[in-house]
Amino acid sequence: MTATLATPPTATKFAGKTKLFINNEWCDASDGGTFETYNPANGEVIAKVAHATKQDVDSAVKAARKALDKGPWGRMDAADRGKLMFKLADLLETHSEELARLESLNCGKTITDSRGDLGGVINCIRYYAGWADKIEGKTVPVRGNFLSYTLRQPVGVVGQIIPWNFPLLMAAWKWGPALACGNAIVMKAAEQTPLTALRLCELAQEAGFPAGVINMLNGMGETTGDAMVTHPGIDKIAFTGHVDTAKIITKRAADTLKRTTFELGGKSPNVVFADCDMEQAVAGAFHAIYFHGGQCCTAGSRLFVEEKIREEFVSRLADRARQRRVGNQLDEKTEQGPQVSQEQLDKILGYVDQGQKQGAKLVCGGKRAGDGKGYFVEPTIFDNVKDNMSIATDEIFGPVVSVLSFKDAEDMIERANNTTYGLAAAIWTKNIDKAHWYAKNVKAGTVWVNCYHIVDTTTPFGGFKMSGQGRENGEAALDHYTETKTVTVALS
């Protein structure tokens, strides 16, 4: 059922926190400003949320600095930091259904997907809680009669700017390593999805994090976000979002020479060889593009299919796409909720239009679904796509897959790598040599063999080329949240 909604959206009710969270206190914006946040299933306003000003950013930075320099946080045993994080993870577990529902309401992801995200959030906080007292330095065999050792110390006040597609999970990925390493946080959630981040702060407060360790600001990128990027008291910016925003941040952060880490978008090649398990590959390619309505940085949006199976493959993919249940994200049976905003809806439909004009074949979908109030898009497939069409080069961030045909593996990998992105890639084949050849040669930070979207908090995640800088998750993330200090002692 793609043209009509499976069930109408439920009425929007919200009684949670909407203020700024600074120094463990809830406060209005310094100028009283607010902005509205919506339920993307019906465009209704859920709540008005405080819009942080430059002055509020400054207050948050001061609170964070004080937590590091004068508060208990800077002096706390590493194991006790871990204990607080374990407590937070337990509270998240207790409140996971409530959080999942709020996440779905505000961001549009299905309740099933939100529950899955919550599992990832809890795992992430627990994983990094375990790291807190295991971040060790080294003793170094220097020349001469000296003892040299290294200390790994927090970077300081870290500014974290997150997007709307996985609001809680992105917060967890950024809080986890930052807290384990003993930093203090000033975070800005995405303007589309401010609500669960605020609830997260309430739970952090309940867990017992001292004042100033975690500060949450909401607001627009160009105002609140920019005030963070340019603030001299913020030592590092960790950002997830669009490549163009990362370019702006790089320029704006130059005057204060901030450390930056970026997790950006992709146009990931998902490659299907004729020797694959067809059933498994069709299901995998479907999940690769349509999971969360295509609003994933890792979405398998360039689907390379070996020519001899292309027709059958596309036809089987389309059969599934036509049956996808698009509708109210809080309905248990819904498989795809609304896109997050009018802006994203317009962007996606704009690309569908370009694809048709540039001569690709629209196999199915391509239209807005529903009653015209929610931001629903039909699962869409383009066949006969050429490498230079905009639907093959640009990140669409919606349920739109571009099918590209290939005959020769060497030619395919050259085309797969012919992009400014390099976040993820996948291959479907029963031939182990082919699988490892692809894994070695494709330029991407994550490669999946006969699976897709398997992301675990224990493994490094990030991009080659313009898909990012640095790595999140795993031990690798700790490097970006510590400074290494060398101490040398003269021995007599």
> Which residues in this chain contact ligand NAI in the complex, by CB under 6 A?
161-165, 188, 190-191, 220-222, 225-226, 229, 240-242, 245, 248-249, 263-265, 297, 344, 347, 395, 397
CB-wise, 347 or 434, nearer to ligand NAI? 347
CB-wise, 297 or 317, nearer to ligand NAI? 297
DSSP summary character for residue 262 = E
Q: How many residues does the chain have?
A: 492
DSSP 151-175: EEEE--EEEEE--SSSHHHHHHHHH
What is the rounded distance in angstroms from the CA atom of residue 46 to the CA atom of residue 211? 29
Helices (H) and strands (E) in the chain, counts: 15, 22
DSSP summary character for residue 311 = H
CB-wise, 174 or 316, nearer to ligand NAI? 174
Q: How far is the CB of 146 from ligand NAI (least distance, A)?
A: 44
What is the rounded distance in angstroms from the CA atom of residue 102 to the CA atom of residue 404? 38
DSSP summary character for residue 134 = G
CB-wise, 82 or 468, nearer to ligand NAI? 468
DSSP summary character for residue 453 = -
Half-sphere exposure of 109 (CA within 13 A, CB side): 27
DSSP summary character for residue 483 = E
Q: How far is the CB of 491 from ligand NAI (least distance, A)?
A: 49
Residues designated catalytic: 263, 297
CB-wise, 221 or 366, nearer to ligand NAI? 221
DSSP summary character for residue 333 = T
Task: Look at residue 446 and give its three-state secondary structure.
Answer: strand
Position 365: which residue type? G
CB-wise, 183 or 193, nearer to ligand NAI? 193
Structure tokens given for 198: 């605020």
CB-wise, 5 or 466, nearer to ligand NAI? 466
Q: How far is the CB of 432 from ligand NAI (least distance, A)?
A: 31
What is the rounded distance in angstroms from the CA atom of residue 343 to the CA atom of residue 349? 10
CB-wise, 161 or 392, nearer to ligand NAI? 161
Q: How far is the CB of 286 from ligand NAI (least distance, A)?
A: 20
Q: How far is the CB of 230 from ligand NAI (least distance, A)?
A: 9
**Radius of gyration (C-alpha) of the chain in whole angstroms:** 23
The answer to whether 298 and 453 are in contact (CB under 8 A) is yes
What is the rounded distance in angstroms from the CA atom of residue 64 to the CA atom of residue 264? 26
CB-wise, 164 or 448, nearer to ligand NAI? 164
β-bridge pairing 400-406 and 302-306: parallel
Cα dist from 256 to 189, 250, 308, 456, whole Å: 22, 11, 55, 34
Closest residue to ligand NAI in the complex (CB)? 221
Q: How far is the CB of 344 from ligand NAI (least distance, A)?
A: 6
Please report the beta strands in 266-389, taking only residues with DSSP state E, as ranges in sequence order: 269-272, 302-306, 361-364, 368-369, 376-377, 380-383
DSSP summary character for residue 481 = T
Task: Look at residue 14 and give its three-state secondary structure.
Answer: coil
Position 15: which residue type? A
Cα dist from 311 to 33, 106, 281, 283, 384, whole Å: 55, 39, 14, 16, 10
Q: How far is the CB of 457 from ligand NAI (least distance, A)?
A: 16
The answer to whether 366 and 401 are in contact (CB under 8 A) is no
